[in-house]
Amino acid sequence: MKKRKLGKSNLEVSAIGLGCMGMSFSYGPPADKNEMISLIRSAVERGVTFFDTAEVYGPFTNEELVGEALAPLRDQVVIATKFGFKPDPNGGTRWSVLDSSPEHIKEVAEASLKRLRTDVIDLFYQHRVDPNVPIEDVAGAVKDLIQQGKVKHFGLSEAGVKTIRRAHKVQPVTALQSEYSLWWREPEAEVIPALEELGIGFVPFSPLGKGFLTGKISEDTQFDKTDFRNVVPRFTPENRKTNQAMVDLIGKFAKQKKATPAQIALAWVLAQKPWMVPIPGTTKLHRLEENMGAAAIELTSEDLRQLETATSKISVQGARYPEELQKLVGR
C-alpha cells in the first residue's frame, strides 16, 4: 500500500485508511467483536496503517474494539479518534449534545487513551464545531495535550473555512475530516482550496456514499431498523431510484478499467490531491481487499475529464443529512 502525508505535517499514513464506525454503530446492529478484531488486524497485514474511530461510536464500544485489535500492532499504526459530543446520560446515542469545553476535551482524552490501550492519540479531531466554545479555546486545549505528549496531531471534522483558519493560528491543524465523494462535492468550493493554502490534509469519510456508490444498494434495499440511512433524505426509495444514474455511470466506467464501481469512486478521490486519504468503512474482508485495490488504479487526466463531464450532468437527489445533523456542519 502506498503512503501519503496529510498536508504539510509529518503524519504519514496508508493512502487508504479504514473507518471503523460501522463495525459498532450507525449501519445496523454491531458486528461480531472477534470477527472485527480479525478484520482490523487483516487490514494491518495488508498495509493499512490509518484507523478512524470516535468516542461517540457506540458510544465507547468502537474505541474499545479498535484499542483491543491494534494493541499488539500499536507501533505500526496511526489511530485517529474524536471528541466533542456529550454522551447521553440515559445511555442512548443522542448526537445533538455538544461539549467542546477545554475541561471536557481533557477528560475525553484520558478516557480515550484507556479505551484505545495506548499512551498517545495520533490524531485527535473535534467531531463537530461547538458554537458555545470559541475554537481558539478548543485548539488551545488540544495544544496543551500535545505539549503533555498525550496527543500528536490536531484535527477538525466538518468545520467551515473561517473556523479552520482561526483554529490553525492557535495550533496547526493536521487534517480536516469531512464527507467527500463523487456524489458529495461541496468541499471543492471553499474548503479544499483553503486546506491547500494552509497545508492541511483532507480525510474524506463516506467516500463510497455510505455504500451507495458500490452499486450494491438499490431502491428495493431494506435497511435494518437501527441503520442511520433510514433517516437520510438521500436514501429514500424515490431518491435511490433517481440516484441510481450516478452508480450506473460509475459502473460503466469501472468495466472499461476492469475495476469495480467502489474502486473507481475511491481512485477518483485519491486522484484529486496527493494529501487526501479516504477512509471507507467495511465489516467484510473481501470489501476491505476491494477497497485497498483502488490504491493501485491510476486514473489518467483523460479518465478524470470523462468522469467529470459525465457526472456533472447528473443531479443527485436528497440531502446528505437530516436537518438536525445538517445544522452541525460547516460552522
Whole-angstrom distance, CA of residue 119 vs CA of residue 299: 40
Rounded to whole angstroms, the Cα distance separating 71 from 274 reads 29
CB burial readout 260-280, b (16+ within 10 A) else e: bbbbbbbbbbbbbeebbbbbb
User: By the 8 A CB rule, do 152 and 215 touch?
Assistant: no
Strand pairing category for 3-5 and 12-14: antiparallel
Query: What is the greatest pairwise CA distance in the chain?
Result: 54
Angle at 270 between CA 185 and CA 79, to 5 degrees: 100
Place of cell 431518491: 239
Catalytic-role residue among 27, 57, 125, 180:
57
Q: What phi and psi, each to the nearest 5 degrees, are found at residue 276?
A: -105, 135
Catalytic, 57? Answer: yes
Residue numbers annotated as active site: 57
